[in-house]
Amino acid sequence: MSVQEGDAAPDFEMPASGGRTVSLAALKGKPFILYFYPKADTPGCTKEACAFQEALPQLGSIGLDVIGVSPDKIKPIDKFAEKYGLKFPLASDETKAVAEKYNTWVEKSMYGRKYMGMERSTFLVGADGKIKKMWRKVTVTGHAADVLKAAQSL
């Protein structure tokens, strides 16, 4: 079953960068951004993470937390976060259980070869725990600005 705007955000609990844990329960009553990215420290993912990092002051001023999610192990995620000074938590979804709940672990195709991979997607979740806006197959350039704009209208 596919997640839709207006649905309650699927539950999650994952280890995150800096020895943190992120969970839906801990965010109860707070709006947040959950974004899924394919791999730590690759060009597109770095650009996206840095754009969210730059938008943090504005997002923070409207009370929004940002959480990045990838299927990487926590060690490369920690290295990635340190290398770029990323303050928001980057979570490890090694089992892809959370990605599957959000329908972001999908069949992809490259050079005619099909494989399973993370679809770059972002979910804006309101303080009521419902998905207010979703972005699928995200293009990195300008994305954080689009998310910020949508978040400001919450």
Query: Which are the catalytic amino acids?
Result: 45
Question: What are the distances in angstroms from CA 29 to CA 26, 124, 134?
Answer: 9, 14, 19
Q: Could you report how far apart the first and last alpha carbons of the chain are, in Å?
A: 26
Residue 121 bridge partners (DSSP): 36
Q: Which residues pair with 107 in a beta bridge?
A: 116
Neighbouring CB atoms inside 10 A of 154's CB total 14
Distances (CA, A) of 96 to 33, 37, 83, 118, 139: 18, 12, 24, 9, 22
- Expressed in percent and rounded to 5, the helix, strand and coil fractions of the chain are 35, 30, 35
